[in-house]
Structure 1
Protein backbone atom coordinates (compact mmCIF):
# COMPACT_ATOMS: atom_id res chain seq x y z
CA UNK A 1 0.00 0.00 0.00
CA UNK A 2 1.35 3.40 -0.97
CA UNK A 3 0.23 6.95 -0.35
CA UNK A 4 0.92 10.16 -2.24
CA UNK A 5 0.97 13.78 -1.10
CA UNK A 6 -1.23 16.05 -3.23
CA UNK A 7 -1.14 19.76 -2.36
CA UNK A 8 -1.72 23.13 -4.01
CA UNK A 9 0.12 21.93 -7.15
CA UNK A 10 -2.90 19.77 -7.99
CA UNK A 11 -6.55 20.65 -8.57
CA UNK A 12 -9.57 18.36 -9.02
CA UNK A 13 -11.41 18.97 -12.28
CA UNK A 14 -13.81 16.88 -14.36
CA UNK A 15 -15.45 13.87 -12.82
CA UNK A 16 -17.48 10.90 -13.98
CA UNK A 17 -19.44 8.30 -12.06
CA UNK A 18 -20.03 4.63 -12.67
CA UNK A 19 -21.94 1.98 -10.83
CA UNK A 20 -19.39 1.56 -8.05
CA UNK A 21 -16.91 4.45 -8.26
CA UNK A 22 -16.52 8.15 -8.88
CA UNK A 23 -13.45 9.27 -10.83
CA UNK A 24 -11.90 12.74 -10.68
CA UNK A 25 -9.30 14.28 -12.95
CA UNK A 26 -6.35 15.66 -10.99
CA UNK A 27 -4.66 18.43 -12.98
CA UNK A 28 -1.15 19.49 -11.97
CA UNK A 29 0.51 22.85 -12.56
CA UNK A 30 2.57 21.34 -15.41
CA UNK A 31 -0.67 20.13 -17.11
CA UNK A 32 -0.05 16.47 -16.26
CA UNK A 33 -3.38 14.77 -15.54
CA UNK A 34 -3.89 11.84 -13.16
CA UNK A 35 -7.11 10.12 -12.14
CA UNK A 36 -8.46 9.57 -8.62
CA UNK A 37 -10.81 6.58 -8.29
CA UNK A 38 -12.98 6.51 -5.14
CA UNK A 39 -15.62 3.86 -4.33
CA UNK A 40 -19.16 5.13 -3.90
CA UNK A 41 -20.16 4.51 -0.27
CA UNK A 42 -23.81 3.82 -1.12
CA UNK A 43 -23.01 1.19 -3.80
CA UNK A 44 -19.66 -0.35 -2.94
CA UNK A 45 -19.98 -2.01 0.45
CA UNK A 46 -16.59 -3.75 0.33
CA UNK A 47 -14.56 -0.75 -0.72
CA UNK A 48 -11.31 -1.78 0.94
CA UNK A 49 -11.26 -5.31 -0.45
CA UNK A 50 -12.18 -4.17 -3.95
CA UNK A 51 -9.67 -1.29 -3.94
CA UNK A 52 -6.79 -3.49 -2.77
CA UNK A 53 -7.51 -6.15 -5.38
CA UNK A 54 -8.05 -3.66 -8.21
CA UNK A 55 -4.78 -1.86 -7.50
CA UNK A 56 -2.89 -5.16 -7.27
CA UNK A 57 -4.36 -6.45 -10.53
CA UNK A 58 -3.45 -3.28 -12.43
CA UNK A 59 0.10 -3.40 -11.07
CA UNK A 60 0.40 -7.08 -11.95
CA UNK A 61 -0.72 -6.48 -15.54
CA UNK A 62 1.47 -3.39 -15.91
CA UNK A 63 4.49 -5.41 -14.81
CA UNK A 64 3.79 -8.63 -16.69
CA UNK A 65 1.72 -7.85 -19.79
CA UNK A 66 1.41 -5.64 -22.84
CA UNK A 67 -2.25 -4.86 -22.09
CA UNK A 68 -2.71 -1.06 -21.99
CA UNK A 69 -3.80 -0.58 -18.38
CA UNK A 70 -3.18 2.61 -16.36
CA UNK A 71 -0.17 2.81 -14.06
CA UNK A 72 -1.11 2.93 -10.38
CA UNK A 73 0.84 5.70 -8.65
CA UNK A 74 -0.66 5.14 -5.20
CA UNK A 75 -3.58 3.61 -3.37
CA UNK A 76 -4.74 3.77 0.22
CA UNK A 77 -7.48 2.06 2.20
CA UNK A 78 -9.87 3.96 4.44
CA UNK A 79 -8.68 2.05 7.51
CA UNK A 80 -5.09 3.21 7.01
CA UNK A 81 -4.23 5.67 9.84
CA UNK A 82 -2.37 7.84 7.30
CA UNK A 83 -5.44 8.19 5.08
CA UNK A 84 -6.65 11.81 5.27
CA UNK A 85 -9.34 11.43 2.61
CA UNK A 86 -11.60 9.27 4.82
CA UNK A 87 -12.23 6.95 1.87
CA UNK A 88 -10.36 4.25 0.01
CA UNK A 89 -8.84 5.51 -3.22
CA UNK A 90 -6.51 4.78 -6.14
CA UNK A 91 -4.41 7.43 -7.89
CA UNK A 92 -3.64 6.32 -11.43
CA UNK A 93 -2.50 7.36 -14.86
CA UNK A 94 -5.02 8.88 -17.24
CA UNK A 95 -5.04 6.88 -20.47
CA UNK A 96 -5.76 8.53 -23.82
CA UNK A 97 -8.97 7.67 -25.63
CA UNK A 98 -12.73 7.90 -25.35
CA UNK A 99 -15.46 5.45 -24.31
CA UNK A 100 -16.29 2.74 -26.82
CA UNK A 101 -19.32 3.97 -28.85
CA UNK A 102 -22.56 2.03 -28.47
CA UNK A 103 -24.60 1.08 -31.54
CA UNK A 104 -28.18 1.79 -30.51
CA UNK A 105 -29.82 -0.03 -33.40
CA UNK A 106 -28.73 -2.35 -36.16
CA UNK A 107 -29.17 -1.46 -39.82
CA UNK A 108 -28.70 -3.39 -43.03
CA UNK A 109 -27.10 -0.29 -44.52
CA UNK A 110 -23.85 -0.33 -42.54
CA UNK A 111 -20.95 1.91 -43.40
CA UNK A 112 -17.96 -0.28 -44.43
CA UNK A 113 -15.69 1.97 -42.36
CA UNK A 114 -17.80 1.25 -39.26
CA UNK A 115 -17.54 -2.48 -39.96
CA UNK A 116 -13.78 -2.20 -40.29
CA UNK A 117 -13.53 -0.34 -36.97
CA UNK A 118 -15.78 -2.89 -35.26
CA UNK A 119 -13.62 -5.71 -36.61
CA UNK A 120 -10.48 -4.01 -35.32
CA UNK A 121 -11.97 -3.51 -31.85
CA UNK A 122 -13.09 -7.14 -31.64
CA UNK A 123 -9.69 -8.39 -32.75
CA UNK A 124 -7.93 -6.28 -30.13
CA UNK A 125 -10.35 -7.38 -27.40
CA UNK A 126 -9.69 -10.99 -28.39
CA UNK A 127 -5.97 -10.38 -27.99
CA UNK A 128 -6.57 -8.89 -24.52
CA UNK A 129 -8.69 -11.85 -23.41
CA UNK A 130 -6.13 -14.33 -24.71
CA UNK A 131 -3.33 -12.55 -22.88
CA UNK A 132 -5.37 -12.47 -19.66
CA UNK A 133 -5.91 -16.22 -20.05
CA UNK A 134 -2.15 -16.77 -20.37
CA UNK A 135 -1.63 -15.91 -16.67
CA UNK A 136 -2.23 -19.09 -14.70
CA UNK A 137 -2.72 -19.57 -10.97
CA UNK A 138 -3.26 -22.56 -8.70
CA UNK A 139 -6.24 -21.03 -6.87
CA UNK A 140 -9.45 -19.10 -7.54
CA UNK A 141 -9.59 -15.75 -5.81
CA UNK A 142 -8.58 -12.12 -6.24
CA UNK A 143 -5.06 -10.77 -6.61
CA UNK A 144 -3.39 -9.02 -3.70
CA UNK A 145 0.04 -7.40 -3.31
CA UNK A 146 2.02 -8.01 -0.14
CA UNK A 147 4.30 -5.38 1.49
CA UNK A 148 7.30 -6.79 -0.43
CA UNK A 149 5.57 -6.28 -3.77
CA UNK A 150 4.78 -9.95 -4.37
CA UNK A 151 1.45 -10.88 -5.92
CA UNK A 152 -0.65 -13.54 -4.21
CA UNK A 153 -4.14 -14.95 -4.66
CA UNK A 154 -6.35 -13.81 -1.78
CA UNK A 155 -10.04 -14.23 -0.89
CA UNK A 156 -12.48 -14.06 -3.78
CA UNK A 157 -13.98 -10.60 -4.26
CA UNK A 158 -16.33 -9.86 -7.15
CA UNK A 159 -17.70 -6.30 -6.91
CA UNK A 160 -20.56 -7.16 -9.25
CA UNK A 161 -21.85 -9.93 -7.01
CA UNK A 162 -20.61 -9.20 -3.49
CA UNK A 163 -20.28 -5.41 -3.24
CA UNK A 164 -23.82 -4.59 -4.40
CA UNK A 165 -26.54 -4.74 -3.27
CA UNK A 166 -25.85 -4.20 0.40
CA UNK A 167 -27.61 -7.33 1.67
CA UNK A 168 -25.38 -9.46 -0.56
CA UNK A 169 -22.23 -7.78 0.73
CA UNK A 170 -23.50 -8.31 4.27
CA UNK A 171 -24.09 -11.98 3.51
CA UNK A 172 -20.55 -12.29 2.13
CA UNK A 173 -19.03 -10.77 5.25
CA UNK A 174 -20.89 -13.30 7.39
CA UNK A 175 -19.48 -16.28 5.48
CA UNK A 176 -16.98 -18.57 7.13
CA UNK A 177 -13.43 -17.97 5.86
CA UNK A 178 -13.63 -21.38 4.19
CA UNK A 179 -16.30 -19.98 1.83
CA UNK A 180 -14.37 -16.80 0.99
CA UNK A 181 -11.37 -18.50 -0.56
CA UNK A 182 -8.99 -18.66 -2.15
CA UNK A 183 -10.28 -21.94 -3.59
CA UNK A 184 -8.24 -24.85 -4.91
CA UNK A 185 -10.98 -26.31 -7.11
CA UNK A 186 -13.99 -25.24 -9.15
CA UNK A 187 -16.18 -27.39 -6.91
CA UNK A 188 -15.04 -25.42 -3.84
CA UNK A 189 -15.88 -22.16 -5.61
CA UNK A 190 -19.35 -23.40 -6.69
CA UNK A 191 -20.07 -24.56 -3.14
CA UNK A 192 -19.01 -21.20 -1.70
CA UNK A 193 -21.16 -19.26 -4.19
CA UNK A 194 -24.12 -21.51 -3.36
CA UNK A 195 -23.63 -20.71 0.32
CA UNK A 196 -23.46 -17.00 -0.47
CA UNK A 197 -26.64 -17.19 -2.56
CA UNK A 198 -28.48 -18.92 0.29
CA UNK A 199 -27.43 -16.32 2.85
CA UNK A 200 -28.18 -13.39 0.55
CA UNK A 201 -31.64 -14.76 -0.30
CA UNK A 202 -32.58 -15.24 3.34
CA UNK A 203 -31.41 -11.72 4.18
CA UNK A 204 -33.27 -10.09 1.29
CA UNK A 205 -36.61 -11.94 1.31
CA UNK A 206 -39.22 -12.79 3.91
CA UNK A 207 -39.04 -16.21 5.52
CA UNK A 208 -41.54 -17.95 3.20
CA UNK A 209 -40.13 -16.61 -0.07
CA UNK A 210 -36.60 -17.02 1.21
CA UNK A 211 -37.13 -20.70 1.88
CA UNK A 212 -38.38 -21.22 -1.67
CA UNK A 213 -35.43 -19.40 -3.23
CA UNK A 214 -32.96 -21.23 -1.00
CA UNK A 215 -34.50 -24.52 -2.13
CA UNK A 216 -33.97 -23.48 -5.75
CA UNK A 217 -30.33 -22.63 -5.05
CA UNK A 218 -29.84 -25.97 -3.32
CA UNK A 219 -31.14 -27.75 -6.41
CA UNK A 220 -28.75 -25.76 -8.60
CA UNK A 221 -25.87 -26.50 -6.22
CA UNK A 222 -26.60 -30.23 -6.49
CA UNK A 223 -26.07 -30.02 -10.26
CA UNK A 224 -22.63 -28.40 -10.11
CA UNK A 225 -20.76 -31.69 -10.49
CA UNK A 226 -22.50 -32.18 -13.85
CA UNK A 227 -21.05 -29.00 -15.37
CA UNK A 228 -17.48 -29.43 -14.18
CA UNK A 229 -14.79 -30.06 -16.78
CA UNK A 230 -12.74 -32.69 -15.03
CA UNK A 231 -9.35 -31.78 -16.49
CA UNK A 232 -9.72 -28.16 -15.33
CA UNK A 233 -11.45 -28.70 -11.99
CA UNK A 234 -8.22 -28.21 -10.05
CA UNK A 235 -6.74 -25.53 -12.29
CA UNK A 236 -4.79 -23.93 -13.63
CA UNK A 237 -7.03 -20.86 -13.22
CA UNK A 238 -6.60 -17.74 -15.33
CA UNK A 239 -7.19 -14.01 -15.02
CA UNK A 240 -10.63 -12.79 -16.02
CA UNK A 241 -12.30 -9.39 -16.26
CA UNK A 242 -15.80 -9.75 -14.78
CA UNK A 243 -17.10 -6.46 -16.18
CA UNK A 244 -15.51 -6.00 -19.60
CA UNK A 245 -18.32 -3.89 -21.06
CA UNK A 246 -18.47 -0.66 -23.06
CA UNK A 247 -18.15 1.61 -20.01
CA UNK A 248 -14.84 -0.02 -19.15
CA UNK A 249 -13.24 0.12 -22.61
CA UNK A 250 -11.38 3.10 -24.08
CA UNK A 251 -10.66 3.46 -27.80
CA UNK A 252 -8.54 5.86 -29.81
CA UNK A 253 -9.94 7.03 -33.13
Structure 2
Protein backbone atom coordinates (compact mmCIF):
# COMPACT_ATOMS: atom_id res chain seq x y z
CA UNK A 1 0.00 0.00 0.00
CA UNK A 2 1.47 3.36 -1.01
CA UNK A 3 1.76 6.03 1.74
CA UNK A 4 -0.89 8.71 1.93
CA UNK A 5 0.26 12.01 0.43
CA UNK A 6 0.83 14.84 2.89
CA UNK A 7 -1.97 17.41 2.79
CA UNK A 8 -0.74 20.82 1.75
CA UNK A 9 -1.77 24.44 1.41
CA UNK A 10 -0.59 27.34 -0.71
CA UNK A 11 -0.06 30.39 1.48
CA UNK A 12 0.58 34.02 0.52
CA UNK A 13 3.33 36.10 2.15
CA UNK A 14 4.43 39.73 1.74
CA UNK A 15 0.84 40.63 0.89
CA UNK A 16 0.77 38.21 -2.03
CA UNK A 17 4.20 38.95 -3.49
CA UNK A 18 5.20 35.32 -3.02
CA UNK A 19 3.50 32.03 -2.19
CA UNK A 20 4.64 28.95 -0.33
CA UNK A 21 3.49 25.33 -0.52
CA UNK A 22 3.41 24.01 3.05
CA UNK A 23 2.30 20.82 4.82
CA UNK A 24 -1.15 20.99 6.39
CA UNK A 25 -1.87 19.21 9.65
CA UNK A 26 1.74 18.15 10.20
CA UNK A 27 5.22 19.58 9.94
CA UNK A 28 6.43 23.10 10.59
CA UNK A 29 4.51 25.96 9.03
CA UNK A 30 6.35 29.22 8.46
CA UNK A 31 5.22 32.52 9.89
CA UNK A 32 6.53 35.66 11.54
CA UNK A 33 9.89 34.17 12.59
CA UNK A 34 10.87 33.49 8.98
CA UNK A 35 9.80 36.94 7.83
CA UNK A 36 11.77 38.70 10.59
CA UNK A 37 14.81 36.56 9.78
CA UNK A 38 14.58 37.54 6.11
CA UNK A 39 14.37 41.22 7.04
CA UNK A 40 17.92 41.06 8.45
CA UNK A 41 19.38 40.71 4.95
CA UNK A 42 20.27 44.12 3.55
CA UNK A 43 22.57 44.57 0.55
CA UNK A 44 22.75 46.46 -2.72
CA UNK A 45 23.85 44.83 -5.96
CA UNK A 46 24.15 41.13 -6.72
CA UNK A 47 24.82 38.82 -3.76
CA UNK A 48 24.35 35.21 -2.63
CA UNK A 49 22.41 33.96 0.40
CA UNK A 50 22.43 30.53 2.04
CA UNK A 51 19.29 29.72 4.05
CA UNK A 52 20.39 26.90 6.38
CA UNK A 53 17.63 24.55 7.55
CA UNK A 54 15.32 26.31 5.14
CA UNK A 55 12.27 24.07 5.56
CA UNK A 56 9.78 24.94 2.82
CA UNK A 57 11.89 28.02 2.06
CA UNK A 58 9.93 30.89 3.60
CA UNK A 59 12.87 33.05 4.70
CA UNK A 60 14.85 32.50 1.50
CA UNK A 61 11.79 33.24 -0.65
CA UNK A 62 11.17 36.41 1.38
CA UNK A 63 14.72 37.62 0.70
CA UNK A 64 14.43 36.94 -3.04
CA UNK A 65 11.01 38.59 -3.18
CA UNK A 66 12.20 41.81 -1.50
CA UNK A 67 15.68 42.12 -3.01
CA UNK A 68 15.77 41.73 -6.82
CA UNK A 69 19.52 41.01 -7.00
CA UNK A 70 19.59 38.24 -4.38
CA UNK A 71 20.51 34.69 -5.37
CA UNK A 72 19.33 32.23 -2.70
CA UNK A 73 20.23 28.61 -1.92
CA UNK A 74 17.73 26.80 0.33
CA UNK A 75 19.63 24.17 2.33
CA UNK A 76 17.33 21.53 3.84
CA UNK A 77 18.01 18.02 5.13
CA UNK A 78 14.42 16.71 5.13
CA UNK A 79 13.42 15.28 1.72
CA UNK A 80 9.78 16.08 2.48
CA UNK A 81 10.43 19.74 3.30
CA UNK A 82 12.83 20.14 0.39
CA UNK A 83 10.09 18.85 -1.90
CA UNK A 84 7.71 21.50 -0.58
CA UNK A 85 10.33 24.12 -1.45
CA UNK A 86 10.58 22.70 -4.99
CA UNK A 87 6.80 22.81 -5.32
CA UNK A 88 6.87 26.45 -4.28
CA UNK A 89 9.48 27.20 -6.94
CA UNK A 90 7.17 25.69 -9.55
CA UNK A 91 4.26 28.00 -8.69
CA UNK A 92 3.41 30.51 -11.39
CA UNK A 93 3.01 33.20 -8.71
CA UNK A 94 6.73 32.88 -7.89
CA UNK A 95 7.95 33.03 -11.49
CA UNK A 96 9.36 36.59 -11.22
CA UNK A 97 12.15 35.41 -8.92
CA UNK A 98 12.16 31.59 -8.93
CA UNK A 99 15.16 31.47 -11.29
CA UNK A 100 17.22 33.06 -8.49
CA UNK A 101 16.42 30.31 -5.95
CA UNK A 102 17.85 26.78 -5.75
CA UNK A 103 17.14 23.90 -3.36
CA UNK A 104 20.08 21.96 -1.94
CA UNK A 105 19.00 18.82 -0.09
CA UNK A 106 21.77 18.16 2.41
CA UNK A 107 22.70 18.28 6.10
CA UNK A 108 23.96 21.68 7.24
CA UNK A 109 26.21 20.03 9.85
CA UNK A 110 28.45 18.30 7.30
CA UNK A 111 32.12 19.23 7.57
CA UNK A 112 35.19 19.36 5.39
CA UNK A 113 35.14 17.47 2.11
CA UNK A 114 31.65 16.08 2.74
CA UNK A 115 30.23 19.59 3.04
CA UNK A 116 32.12 20.76 -0.04
CA UNK A 117 30.98 17.73 -2.06
CA UNK A 118 27.37 18.41 -1.02
CA UNK A 119 27.54 21.84 -2.66
CA UNK A 120 28.47 24.12 0.24
CA UNK A 121 31.87 25.42 -0.75
CA UNK A 122 34.08 27.71 1.31
CA UNK A 123 33.66 31.50 0.95
CA UNK A 124 30.58 31.09 -1.28
CA UNK A 125 27.98 33.40 0.29
CA UNK A 126 27.64 37.05 1.26
CA UNK A 127 24.87 36.21 3.75
CA UNK A 128 24.06 33.08 5.76
CA UNK A 129 20.68 33.01 7.50
CA UNK A 130 19.22 30.41 9.84
CA UNK A 131 16.21 29.66 12.02
CA UNK A 132 17.54 26.60 13.89
CA UNK A 133 15.36 24.14 15.84
CA UNK A 134 14.56 25.75 19.19
CA UNK A 135 13.13 23.06 21.50
CA UNK A 136 15.50 21.38 23.93
CA UNK A 137 15.85 17.66 23.26
CA UNK A 138 14.40 16.97 26.73
CA UNK A 139 11.15 18.77 25.87
CA UNK A 140 8.10 16.64 25.16
CA UNK A 141 8.48 15.34 21.63
CA UNK A 142 5.65 15.64 19.14
CA UNK A 143 4.61 12.46 17.31
CA UNK A 144 4.73 14.51 14.10
CA UNK A 145 8.09 13.54 12.59
CA UNK A 146 8.31 16.56 10.28
CA UNK A 147 7.58 18.95 13.15
CA UNK A 148 9.99 17.14 15.48
CA UNK A 149 12.80 17.49 12.94
CA UNK A 150 12.10 21.20 12.58
CA UNK A 151 11.75 21.99 16.30
CA UNK A 152 14.03 19.68 18.30
CA UNK A 153 17.55 20.85 19.05
CA UNK A 154 20.50 18.50 18.96
CA UNK A 155 23.63 18.69 21.10
CA UNK A 156 25.96 21.53 20.07
CA UNK A 157 23.46 22.67 17.44
CA UNK A 158 24.60 26.29 17.33
CA UNK A 159 28.26 25.29 17.27
CA UNK A 160 27.75 22.98 14.29
CA UNK A 161 25.44 25.31 12.34
CA UNK A 162 27.54 28.43 12.93
CA UNK A 163 30.70 26.46 12.11
CA UNK A 164 29.20 25.77 8.70
CA UNK A 165 28.16 29.40 8.35
CA UNK A 166 31.72 30.47 9.15
CA UNK A 167 33.10 28.17 6.47
CA UNK A 168 30.75 29.12 3.65
CA UNK A 169 30.52 32.87 4.32
CA UNK A 170 32.87 35.22 2.50
CA UNK A 171 35.21 37.41 4.57
CA UNK A 172 33.04 40.27 5.79
CA UNK A 173 29.90 38.21 5.15
CA UNK A 174 26.92 38.44 7.47
CA UNK A 175 25.41 35.78 9.71
CA UNK A 176 21.76 36.34 10.64
CA UNK A 177 19.57 34.18 12.84
CA UNK A 178 16.45 34.13 14.98
CA UNK A 179 16.31 32.08 18.18
CA UNK A 180 14.94 31.92 21.69
CA UNK A 181 16.55 34.20 24.30
CA UNK A 182 17.69 31.14 26.26
CA UNK A 183 20.15 30.33 23.47
CA UNK A 184 22.06 33.60 23.65
CA UNK A 185 25.12 32.23 25.47
CA UNK A 186 25.47 29.31 23.03
CA UNK A 187 25.16 31.62 20.04
CA UNK A 188 27.83 34.04 21.29
CA UNK A 189 30.15 31.16 22.14
CA UNK A 190 29.65 29.58 18.70
CA UNK A 191 30.40 32.86 16.96
CA UNK A 192 33.73 32.86 18.81
CA UNK A 193 36.45 34.19 16.52
CA UNK A 194 34.44 33.32 13.40
CA UNK A 195 31.98 36.21 13.65
CA UNK A 196 32.22 39.49 15.52
CA UNK A 197 30.31 42.73 15.72
CA UNK A 198 27.40 40.75 17.16
CA UNK A 199 24.16 42.76 17.36
CA UNK A 200 21.24 41.36 19.34
CA UNK A 201 17.65 42.61 19.30
CA UNK A 202 15.15 41.19 21.78
CA UNK A 203 11.58 40.75 20.51
CA UNK A 204 8.84 41.34 23.09
CA UNK A 205 5.15 40.57 22.49
CA UNK A 206 3.92 43.72 24.28
CA UNK A 207 5.12 46.39 26.71
CA UNK A 208 5.99 44.81 30.05
CA UNK A 209 6.17 41.25 28.65
CA UNK A 210 9.34 39.17 28.50
CA UNK A 211 11.19 38.61 25.25
CA UNK A 212 10.22 35.48 23.30
CA UNK A 213 12.77 35.70 20.46
CA UNK A 214 16.08 37.35 19.66
CA UNK A 215 17.38 38.55 16.31
CA UNK A 216 21.14 38.17 15.93
CA UNK A 217 23.49 39.45 13.24
CA UNK A 218 27.29 39.23 13.09
CA UNK A 219 30.06 39.84 10.56
CA UNK A 220 32.69 37.27 9.61
CA UNK A 221 36.12 38.37 10.78
CA UNK A 222 34.88 41.47 12.61
CA UNK A 223 36.44 42.37 15.97
CA UNK A 224 33.78 44.93 16.88
CA UNK A 225 32.15 44.62 20.28
CA UNK A 226 28.81 43.06 21.08
CA UNK A 227 25.82 45.42 21.04
CA UNK A 228 22.33 45.00 22.44
CA UNK A 229 19.90 47.02 20.36
CA UNK A 230 16.65 48.64 21.36
CA UNK A 231 13.95 45.97 21.68
CA UNK A 232 11.26 45.34 19.10
CA UNK A 233 7.67 45.28 20.36
CA UNK A 234 5.39 43.09 18.27
CA UNK A 235 2.35 44.98 19.54
CA UNK A 236 3.07 48.46 20.88
CA UNK A 237 -0.17 48.69 22.85
CA UNK A 238 -1.26 46.33 25.60
CA UNK A 239 -4.87 46.29 24.40
CA UNK A 240 -4.15 45.78 20.69
CA UNK A 241 -3.60 42.73 18.48
CA UNK A 242 -2.36 44.87 15.59
CA UNK A 243 1.35 44.69 14.84
CA UNK A 244 3.47 47.75 15.57
CA UNK A 245 4.08 49.69 12.31
CA UNK A 246 7.78 48.72 11.98
CA UNK A 247 7.06 45.05 12.71
CA UNK A 248 4.24 45.05 10.16
CA UNK A 249 6.60 46.53 7.56
CA UNK A 250 9.29 43.93 8.35
CA UNK A 251 6.75 41.09 8.25
CA UNK A 252 5.45 42.16 4.85
CA UNK A 253 8.80 42.84 3.19
CA UNK A 254 8.36 46.59 2.85
CA UNK A 255 11.62 47.36 4.66
CA UNK A 256 14.69 45.56 5.98
CA UNK A 257 16.16 45.70 9.48
CA UNK A 258 19.56 47.31 8.93
CA UNK A 259 22.53 46.77 11.20
CA UNK A 260 23.83 49.66 13.29
CA UNK A 261 27.26 49.31 11.67
Q: State the TM bucket, normalised to the shorter chain.
A: under 0.3
Q: Give the greater-gyration-radius structure (CA).
A: 1
Hey, which of these two has a bigger chunk of strand by percent? 2
